[in-house]
Amino acid sequence: MDCTEIFIKLVKKVTSNKQQIPQSHVEVLQSRFEVLQSRFEVLQNRVEVLQSRFEVLQNRVEVLQSRVEVLQSRVEVLQSRVEVLQSRVGVLQSRVGVLQSHVEVL
């Protein structure tokens, strides 16, 4: 329920009770209502700005998450390459050992 609806309900309630309200009171109530309505609009604008910022941040998070996934896959590729290279080093070391034994025989 927005401020206008609240104000209208209040006016209807007061007028339905057939009470006489001095004009000065009505003017005070109207000015208070206008202030409240202005504050409400300011708050609505702030909410819109915050929602916009939230959407921007959410998009950034999605981009960062995708980057993390790409980096994780790259790490996995590099780890598999390291394993392959370690295996090759092991093969080369065994060949060196064989060659050294042949050199010792000569």
More confident residue, 78 or 8: 78
Over 80: is that where the pLDDT of 8 sits? no
DSSP 2: -
- Token representation of residue 52: 């916009």
Over 60: is that where the pLDDT of 18 sits? no
Q: Would the pTM count as exceeding 0.85?
A: no
- 25-42: string of b/e by CB count within 10 Å (b at 16+)? eeeeeeeebeeeeeeeee
Per-residue pLDDT tens over the stretch 52-89: 999 999 999 999 999 999 999 999 999 999 999 999 99
Distance of CA 24 to CAs 3, 8, 28, 38, Å? Answer: 21, 18, 6, 21
8 A C-beta contact, residue 3 and residue 41: no
Split at pLDDT 50, 70, 90, the class of 25 is confident
